[in-house]
Every structure is written in C-alpha cells, then in structure tokens.
A and B are shown apart, each in its own frame.
Chain A
Amino acid sequence: MTFLVTWVASLLLIAAPFPAFMAIALPQWGLLFVVWWSLMRNYQLSITLLTFSSLPIDVLYGTALGMHAFIFALLAYVLTLLGPRVRQVNLVMQSVVVFFVLLVASAVSYWARTLTGLDPEFYILFTQTLASAIFWAPMRYLFERISNFTGEAGADSS
C-alpha cells in the first residue's frame, strides 16, 4: 500500500505542469522515490516491482522505455549496499550522499540519453541533481508520513 501511494505521489509530481524555465532546476522525483525505498525500505521492495514501476515514468517524461528501469536498478543496487551506513547519519549528510549518488546516476542517464539520440547538456543534470539533494529531506518526510498513514511504518522511521 505504501509503495502504491508513494509511487502515485511521485507520478503526480512528475506529471505536474511547471513553467519551462523551471525545468533545469526540477528535482528528479522518480529518482528520489527509488532513493527512499532503497535506503529506508529495501527489505520491502522487489526488483520486478521497481522495474515495472519505472515504465510510466518513461512515458511521462517521453524517454525511451527502460531508461528509468536501468537507472533505478543501478541506484537500488548502490543504495542497498550503502543503506545501513547512510541511515545512521543525519539528514544533511544524507543529502550529501544522495547528491553524489544521484550525480553518478545522472552521468549514466546522460550516457543513456546520448545513446538514444538526444543531445543533453550535463550542467542541467547537475542542477537537477542539486535540487534533488535539497529536496531529499522534505521528500523523506513526506514518504515517512505516508508510511505512517498507511500503517506500514518501518522499524527505523522517526
């Protein structure tokens, strides 16, 4: 239930219309969704679910089907291994870790986009990563609230 609600919340944020000039600083909501699940609830998540949940995100962004599945798998793998250590540090340090992990994911995304025929500018991915790291704390709070609301709070939720 928590997965479904957080997923729909992420889709709503992705689908929400923002002015074109804001596009360079929009957080990567889909990636933040995966970061939260991989760091905080990895024991409740399956890779199949994660892969299929990424396909609507590709449709909303207009990217090639499978691109977000690729980045999600990479993020989930890295963050699941880092998870126990990252969970123990404070929110600011978590945001720093999230920034660097998302930066790596953005580099992979940049490469994948180039392969699919796009000509992206990396600085935009950098600004979006920075915005995502800034939004990590509110996003984590929102998802914790959703988790508490649906009655599936994890052992480490505070």
Chain B
Amino acid sequence: MRPLFSRTSVAIVRFVIAVTFSVATMVVDVRFEALSFVRQALKTSLWPIEKLASAPQEFSRSFAQWLSFRVSLVGRLESLSLDNERLKTEQLKLQTLRAENAELRRLLSVKERFSEQLLQAEINRLSNDPFIHRATINRGFLASVKKGQPVLSADGLIGQVVAVYPHASEVLLVTDSTHQLPVQVTRTRDRAIAIGVGLLNRLELRNLPDTVDMVSGDLLETSGLGGRFQSGIPVARVIDVIRSPGQPFARVMAVPIAQLSRLSLVMVDVSTEGSR
C-alpha cells in the first residue's frame, strides 16, 4: 500500500479530499437526513459485534441470577405475589374508571384518549458517548416498531424511537440535548417545553413567565401537543424554580421520573402511528 501522507503536496491534497468528503457526509446526514439507509445497513452489520461486546455483561448477569439464594427467591416471590394481588385489585378499579371515562367521553363526543398497545423491550446498550443520550433496544421493525413511537418505563416516559433496524431500534432519551418535549403541569395544566440538557438526571423548562405557578414537587406530564405523544404520560418532577430579579423569564429544573441510568426493561407504545 502507498504511504498515508508523504511530505509532498499530495499529502495536503489527500487531507483536503478526506476532510471535504467527511464534511459533505456530515451535512447530508444531519441537514437532509438522507443517509438513514447507510446507517441502517451499518447498524445491521454491526449486530454481531454488539452482541459479542455485551456478552460478558450478559454472562455476569446470568451468573449473578444463578447464584441467587433460594431463600431470597422465595422472599421475592412472596413480595411479587402480594404486589400482584394489590395490582389486580387496582386494575379492577381502573377498569371501572375506564368504563366510566369512556362513557363520559362518548356522551361528550370526545375521542378515546388511551388506546396504547405496549411492546416489551430490553435495553441492549446506552451510547458510550456522554453527549448523546441514546439507547439501543432489542426490538426493531420486525416487531412493528416505528420511528417516532414513544418509549416508556414503569415510571413514565423515557424517550422516543428515532431509528429502526430489523432487530433493534434506537431510542432518543428525553434528556438528550437535542430532545424537546411538550409537557404540562398536572396540578395547574400550565404548558411548557421540557428540554434535555445532556444530563441523565435533568430536564429544563425555559422562557416561562416569571409569574408561572410552579412549585418544587409538581409533576410534569406530556401535554399531547404536537401529536407525537398521548397526553398524561408522567415525565418529570419539578425540583427547582429559578426566578432571577429583573429577568422576565423563570427557569424550571426537573428530574425525570424514570431512572434513565438504570433502565433495563422498557415498553414501546406500538399503537402510536409513528412519523414514517
């Protein structure tokens, strides 16, 4: 093979060609999103490498489960049985409430709001890039996952599907610095946009009027504006409201309800159409 760069003008030419190609690729990918098929093909071909890379973690997890004592398993089983009984009772109440709600909505001619069909998925890996909050889940378009569908945990919303491959999908977490989410305060119905700031335990609501009625502890849920998420999905809890004297706007800090750094099982709302 020829040398990579020699001490001649050829070196500069090769460098310029490489830089031009890479910048053009970046622009085409980010600005026009025209390289999704390349990304999809690469992601699919990288699947064996991802499986191999996560094999030690899978093995240690299985080994730890195998080592669990029977006693602790029996205790856990009892606790889960109790939880199950409690949830069954609550589900009965919920069914009654749902029926009442549907009847009231029918009387008011309002469309049924909740029609979710949840698909369970497992998080394979989080991006190792600290500035990109993306997770790869083990369900792809072969399991009816589509781009734009919301992804939830048992606690609340964690993000949305942004790329779909045959056996996997990429989920953009709500805390990513490119993610913005229309939310409302459960208590007052005040609306705002929750912006990710690149920290797994932080969301921010900016440019709110200084007089906004928000206090620490308020629950933020999806407002349904924008049509991507159903309304009423819990997202975050307000931890601080910053009102600077002389400034017209207040800043609100919130912490996501779902523990994003410890997630393993999630659910994809496959009843939502998705953008494509």
Contact = CB atoms under 8 A, between A and B. Distances in A.
- Does A associate with B in a complex? yes
A61 B26 contact: no
Contact of A118 (B7, B50, B131): B131
Interface stretch (A14-22, A91-99, A139-147): A14-22
A12 interface: yes
Nearest to B58: A17
B189 to A, nearest CB: 29
Give the one of A18, A62, A116 with max B CB within 10 A: A62
Contacts of B14: 47
A38 B14 CA distance: 14
Given A20-B200, A66-B26, A61 B18 contact: no
B203 to A, nearest CB: 14
A69 interface: yes
B120 to A, nearest CB: 20
B1 A14 contact: no
B25 A65 contact: yes
Contact of A66 (B29, B52, B177, B198): B29
A70 B4 contact: no
B108 interface: no
B200 A124 contact: no
A1 B139 CA distance: 34
Contacts of A64: 25-26, 29-30
Q: Report the interface size class on chain A.
A: 35 or more
B128 A66 contact: no
A61 B15 contact: no
Interface in B35-53: 35, 38-39, 42-43, 45-46, 49-50, 52-53
B4 A15 contact: no
B21 A51 contact: yes
Contacts of B132: 61-63, 118
B1 A117 contact: no
Interface residues of B, number: 53
Interface in A112-142: 112-113, 115-121, 124, 128
Nearest to B42: A59
A52 to B, nearest CB: 10
Given A119-B177, A121-B198, A66 B4 contact: no
Interface in B2-37: 2-5, 7, 11, 14-15, 17-19, 21-26, 28-30, 35
B26 A77 contact: no
B146 interface: no
B197 interface: yes
A15 B50 contact: yes
B217 interface: no
A19 B128 CA distance: 9
Nearest to B129: A61
B177 A59 contact: no
A43 B1 contact: yes
B1 A44 contact: yes
Given A20-B200, A118-B178, A46 B22 contact: no
Nearest to A61: B129
B269 interface: no
A42 B198 contact: no
6 contacts: A12-B49, A14-B53, A15-B54, A47-B15, A73-B18, A117-B30
Given A74-B19, A76-B4, 20 more contacts: A13-B53, A16-B54, A20-B126, A23-B130, A43-B1, A43-B4, A51-B22, A55-B38, A59-B42, A60-B46, A62-B132, A65-B25, A73-B19, A77-B5, A80-B3, A80-B5, A81-B7, A118-B131, A118-B132, A119-B177
Interface of B: 1-5, 7, 11, 14-15, 17-19, 21-26, 28-30, 35, 38-39, 42-43, 45-46, 49-50, 52-54, 56-57, 124-132, 134, 170, 177-178, 197-198, 200, 260-261
Interface of A: 8, 11-21, 23-24, 26, 38, 42-47, 50-51, 54-56, 59-67, 69-70, 72-74, 76-77, 80-81, 112-113, 115-121, 124, 128
